[in-house]
Structure 1
Amino acid sequence: MYSGSGFSNWEIGDVDVFIDENGMHHLFHLIIPNHDYIAHAVSKDGLSWKRVKNALFVGDPGEWDDDMLWTMHVSKNSIGEGYEMYYTGLKRKDKGIMQKVGRAVSPDLIQWTKDNQYGLPLKSNAPYYESRDNNPREWLSFRDPFKYQFEGDDYLLICARSAVGPTYRRGCIGVAKRSEKGFVLQKPLHIAYVYDDIECPCVVEIKGMHYLLGSIREDVKVRYWFSPDFKGEYHAFHNNVLMPQGNYAARIVKDGEHYLIYNFYFVGGNVNTLRVIPPPKQLDVDSNGRLLLKTYHHWKTLYQRTIYQKNLPIPVPVLGNPSANFVVENENKWRIGCRSGYEVFCFEKPSNNFVWEGKLAVEGMGKTGFVIECDEEGTAYYISIDFVNGFVQFRAWGFNEKDVKNNFIFENIQTNQFEIVENKEIYFKIIRYGNYYELSINEVVKLTLLDFKYSEGKIGVYVCSAIVSLSDSKIHVIPEPENEYATADPNKSLDEYNKITQA
């Protein structure tokens, strides 16, 4: 994983990942609040990162990007060899009002040179988009470029604003097509008519359908729309949230036969708190054409050993509820119940970092879920699984020793929905990797987050007025994550990069 560790630990801005011909992952990201350069890190697996030479810096005084650098997108050069980066730049003279899109090129992803061909830098303009003469917010959104090739032509998707509509609902995904004379603005690819901005747009074609992604500031979620035609009318399913709250600035990259999605995560849901780049997820499509998040395929290569349920420690009750009971039905099935009130059944986890998977089934209408990092009084992370309403929630729940008047912590960190099944049984997968937590239900990722409140304790299951069974479960031990800080000294970056690529 990858995070900031400087004067402000929320230094990481928007991200972009490119996977080169050798399978090396290249992470490019902003440094905030200064926005004065674009950082570069590399990884063999998308999990552990090392900083290398910074990619771009703000221009010299008087240049079009002499104030700030914002979100970028890296891809293979459309003409000739090498690579190109489209990025957002701001000019001091514009006083933050105007955002423009420019370009840089590189032969090796390490050495970058600004090269504004194709009529760049490009800016927001009439008739389709806001301009200096049509600027009700008094600042123009025109940023976060994403290059997409369609039928042999280059297009730039851009976080832009429609020229018409209510001021706070003009956010759209703008598009420019490259011609012989340069990029030409076309009508917006999609206008949602509801958001102030649609940030970090990107598009991917999977199984004949185009999926358009955007990050929404209003609820700090990643949403998507679909169309059979890249230039067609885009639609939304009844639930078009792709990544739950706290996940932001998502971008898609092809990894062999897989489509990976990278983003950063707002720890605590506050834009001024720690930002971390979590492990990627994979994209898939269900039988109805809906996008799904899947667990990253690389996790399986990290398994050091597997402990099956028959060899796991027997869970013990934590709260002392006399109406609770526990039965070992067979070596692969535990039955856990509690008639009145809560009880938590826990056991020692075999490793701080693990992947725990298995089946959880519930009888009746009671409550159940999992606990992680549980202490002797039940303070823990609680993963609530509502089998009746299809609602899943990750919360921190426990004792607050710092405030006797409010001596409890009850913080809902992330929520999501899952499809209800008649037999009230799910196949779950929980990943605990450092302070990263991921939950899949029936092979679909529903929770993906980071939190730092609790780091030690047991794992298990809780019940309330319910009988549940845990069966066919197993725990895979995985190694400790290697963390790289965004402010690490990059002086020896090129040597480090060569070591990584040659290893």
Structure 2
Amino acid sequence: MVLALKDHFVWDSWYVYDGEKYHCYFLKAPRSIGDPELRHVNVSYGHATSTDLVNWDHLGECFRPSEDGWDNYTTWTGSVVRGNDDLWHLYYTGTRQNDPQLAQKIGHATSTDLHNWERVGDGLILDLVGLNAHHYEVDVSNGEWHDRAMRDPWVMPDPEGDGWLMYFTARAPGVAEANDAGCIGFATSQDGYNWTLEPPVFVGGFGQLEVPQVFEKKGTWYCLFCTANNHYSEEQTSLRPVVTGNHYLIGDSPRGPWRIAPGFLDGTQPCTRYAARIVDTDDGMFILGFADRPNGIDFIGHIMDPEPVEITEDGHLIIPPKLKAAE
């Protein structure tokens, strides 16, 4: 049973397990807006729970843009973790109305029940400023790219220390080919509240590497991301199928070095599934993402049922082909 809402488009999602249930957070917008492309600026968060990633209980809206803050236009994709203070922490993307560059920044809210969220202060915790800002594209007024990217924060405990790591979608400056400037941005924190912008952990290959998710499995580090067929660099166009969907980097540590995995994990043209996450369970790993435009025309807008993900002997991720039903 897919996670679908009759009256809302549903797209990017992220997941956290509380010890008993999986919590899914997702971007949603009313279908009454008509054009699904308008969903991005009519967005709020939905929340649903499940014990099996298949059957979902929808709990309603749980977060939305502020009335008149730095994030009063959109609240986009984020991640949720449990902090050392026993609070749940939401890290999210925000933008402000009437910003000509659509500059994205990172916000922070906390919760005791995983549904009611309260911004920490005004919410803003990270922007492309400071000593390491020169590693990022901070000005797109020349029109070479459509937005000043800093979004989709993925936060996790630092396995090499006591603090926290954040990965996000961004772009590097001074790259000759616009579709070779996408990067995985990086920040660190000791307490989850105060963050330091660091240089990117990976640059290149695509114009944008969206919705990063970093995890370790069997001693190998992976960074899941999604990208579109029109955002491949010239080099990547020659190396792999030009499709839209979900692929990954392979790393030696959470700080890299990272490299693009061969082939393409989960892509089609037109796009079937986008903005996917991999959820690790007692029964194995499963990929979930939203149904995009599988026929190339109609936007579907729901979370697809999970499919299993396996790791090959050489450390690559695969989605095994579905077995045909017995005749």
Q: Deviations over 1:12-62 (max 9, x none)?
A: 12111112111x12111111414431111112221121211421121012x
Report what 2:109 is aligned to: 104
Query: Which one of 124, 128, 152 corresponds to residue 124 of structure 1?
Result: 128
Any gaps of 5 or more consecutive residues in structure 2? Answer: 30-38, 230-242
Report what 2:239 is aligned to: none
One-letter amino acid of the counterpart of residue 69, structure 1:
T
Report what 1:149 is aligned to: 157
Q: Deviations over 1:185-240 (max 9, x none)?
A: 2111111x23111100011101111011110122321111212222122123431x
Q: What is the root-mean-square deviation of aligned Cα atoms in Å?
A: 2.4
Give the distance between the partners of 1:203 and 1:178, measured in 2 at CA: 16
Report what 1:282 is aligned to: 308
Give the distance between the partners of 1:84 and 1:271, measured in 2 at CA: 37
Contact in 2 for aligned 1:204/1:252 (Cα 8 Å): no
In 2 relative to 1, CA 36–138 (structure 1 residues): closer, same or farther, beyond 3 Å?
closer
| 2:245 is equivalent to residue 238 of structure 1 | no
* Secondary structure of the corresponding residue to residue 127 of structure 1: helix
| 2:85 is equivalent to residue 84 of structure 1 | no
One-letter amino acid of the counterpart of residue 71, structure 1:
T
* Secondary structure of the corresponding residue to residue 55 of structure 2: coil
Instruction: Tell which has more relative contact order, 1 or 2 (C-alpha 8 A, sep 6+).
Output: 1
Query: Which one of 12, 26, 42 corresponds to residue 29 of structure 1?
Result: 26
Computing the radius of gyration from Cα coordinates, the structure with the larger value is 1
| 2:260 is equivalent to residue 223 of structure 1 | no
* Secondary structure of the corresponding residue to residue 179 of structure 2: helix
Query: Which one of 407, 430, 438 corresponds to residue 324 of structure 2?
Result: 430
Decide which structure has greater strand share. 1
In 2 relative to 1, CA 138–43 (structure 1 residues): closer, same or farther, beyond 3 Å?
closer
Query: Which one of 56, 59, 75 corresponds to residue 81 of structure 2?
Result: 75
Report what 1:137 is aligned to: 145
Question: 1:134: Cα distance to partner?
Answer: 7.2
In 2 relative to 1, CA 140–74 (structure 1 residues): closer, same or farther, beyond 3 Å?
same
Give the distance between the partners of 2:286 and 2:11, measured in 1 at CA: 19
May I ask how many residue pairs the two structures share in their alignment?
292
Give the distance between the partners of 1:35 and 1:146, measured in 2 at CA: 23
| 2:200 is equivalent to residue 188 of structure 1 | yes
Give the distance between the partners of 1:210 and 1:242, measured in 2 at CA: 15
Report what 1:314 is aligned to: none
- Give the TM-score, by structure 1 length: 0.54
Give the distance between the partners of 2:22 and 2:212, measured in 1 at CA: 20
In 2 relative to 1, CA 124–217 (structure 1 residues): closer, same or farther, beyond 3 Å?
farther
Give the distance between the partners of 2:291 and 2:307, measured in 1 at CA: 13
Question: 1:154: Cα distance to partner?
Answer: 0.8
Contact in 2 for aligned 1:120/1:182 (Cα 8 Å): no
- Listed as ranges, the matches of 1:78-477 within 5 Å are 79-95=84-100, 97-116=102-121, 120-125=124-129, 126-132=133-139, 136-137=144-145, 139-150=147-158, 151=160, 152-165=162-175, 166-179=177-190, 182-191=194-203, 193-218=204-229, 219-239=243-263, 241-245=264-268, 246-256=272-282, 258-270=284-296, 273-293=299-319, 429-430=323-324, 460=327
Question: 1:138: Cα distance to partner?
Answer: 5.2
Contact in 2 for aligned 1:159/1:199 (Cα 8 Å): yes
Any gaps of 5 or more consecutive residues in structure 1? Answer: 295-417, 419-427, 432-458, 461-503
